[in-house]
Amino acid sequence: MPEHRLIRDCLAELAAQLPPPVVAELADGLFQTCQRYLRQGLGQDAAAKAALAEFGEPRAIVAAFARASPARRAARTLLATGPLAGACWAAVLIGNHAWTWPRPAHHAHCAWHRAAVIALLASAAFSGSYRSARRTAAAACLGLTALDATMLAATAVIAPSVIWPVIVAATASAARLSYSVRALRAIHAG
Amino acid sequence: MRAEELKGHLDALLLATLEDGPRHGYAVIEALRQSTGGRLELPTGTIYPALHRLERARLIAGSWTVVGGRQRREYRLTAAGARALSGKRADWADFAAIITAALAARSCPSTA
């Protein structure tokens, strides 16, 4: 049985934000709700309107999916734990008098990279848009993966002078890198 | 009962609807409607994100079927979900007992 125009419009609005399998599941739910009203004796228009009223506004449904999305959860976790990893590396850099190191341009590049990742994480963590949260969280996870991989590679160079802070910072970065990769998989799947 | 009053209890209600066997999203909504006497004022579309959240937490497991040419996602309670439901039931029983006792009519006189 073909869907009512109002139902099709609602599904089109949902499809603009949500992945196709989610929309297929919602379409089945809406279809069955509409069928229940038709069985109760309502006409096509009244049944479609009643089903949509019971289902809720597409914007509210998308927002509920965005709140429960792996992208938003990953962004919030990484934002909350970021200061801890940052503090570990700050201790390493201070202990090694990083301000005396050469290549200040490289330091500035790292600072911009970190700022961009934090901005992306904040955007994903508080986004009400499922698609936007997914895109920005994926970009942030890729950025963090690159940042942590760089810091881990640099560990070999700075390790000899301060051992235990480097071990703690490298462990924090390795754990975050592992989480970022898992989060990327979850974001891609969901 | 409004959606905000349900906060924190929706997961237990959804898990309970799957206790008797697998159901698809709409059947979960219908079971919830029957078990609550239709007194929940909840947009049914927002049940699906909650089901997806429970699936990611591995408390329920979903699988696709095709019925009448339509894709339908069916959910079943996992062992972890059954344990979580049991815990949530115990927590609710404790909570309800405490609040019931606190709100019960007092026989002792006021000190005011």
Q: Which residues of A touch B43 (CB under 8 A)?
A: 54-57, 60-61
Per DSSP, the residues of A120-188 read HHHHHHT-S-HHHHHHHHHHHHHHHHHHHHHHHHHHHHHTTT-HHHHHHHHHHHHHHHHHHHHHHHHHH
More confident: A134 or B109: A134
Among the residue ranges A30-44, A49-63, A82-96, B71-85, the one predicted with the least confidence is: A82-96
pLDDT of residue B71: 87
C-beta separation of B77 from B60 below 8 A: yes
Largest CA distance in chain A: 81
Domain count, chain B: 1
pLDDT band at A153 (very low <50, low <70, confident <90, very high): confident
Question: Which of B24, B46, B64 is opposite residue A64, by nearest beta carbon?
Answer: B46
pLDDT of residue A111: 77
Q: Is the residue at B68 inside a domain?
A: yes
Containing structural domain, residue B39: 3-100
Q: Is the residue at B64 inside a domain?
A: yes
Mean pLDDT, range B5-34, rounded to an integer = 89
Spatial distance between the Cα atoms of A40 and A60, rounded to a whole number of angstroms: 27
Q: Is the residue at B109 inside a domain?
A: no
Q: Is the residue at B60 inside a domain?
A: yes
Asked if the Cβ–Cβ distance from B43 to A61 is below 8 Å, we say yes
Whether B71 and chain A come into contact, CB under 8 Å, resolves to yes
Arithmetic mean of pLDDT over chain B: 87
For chain A, what percentages of helix, strand and coil (3-state, to nearest 5) are there? Answer: 85, 0, 15
* CATH at B55: 1.10.10.10
Q: Where are chain A's structural domains?
A: 5-64, 69-189
C-beta separation of A126 from A148 below 8 A: no
Whether A129 and chain B come into contact, CB under 8 Å, resolves to no
Residue A60: pLDDT over 70: yes
Whether A182 and chain B come into contact, CB under 8 Å, resolves to no
Mean pLDDT, range A54-76, rounded to an integer = 90
Whether B56 and chain A come into contact, CB under 8 Å, resolves to yes
Asked if the Cβ–Cβ distance from B56 to A190 is below 8 Å, we say yes
Q: Is the residue at B41 inside a domain?
A: yes
Token match 């949902």: residue? A14
Q: pLDDT for A118-151, tens place per residue?
A: 999 999 998 888 888 999 999 999 999 998 888 8
Residue A154: pLDDT over 80: no
pLDDT band at A164 (very low <50, low <70, confident <90, very high): confident
Q: Is the residue at B112 inside a domain?
A: no
| Predicted ipTM of the assembly | 0.82
Q: Is the residue at B105 inside a domain?
A: no
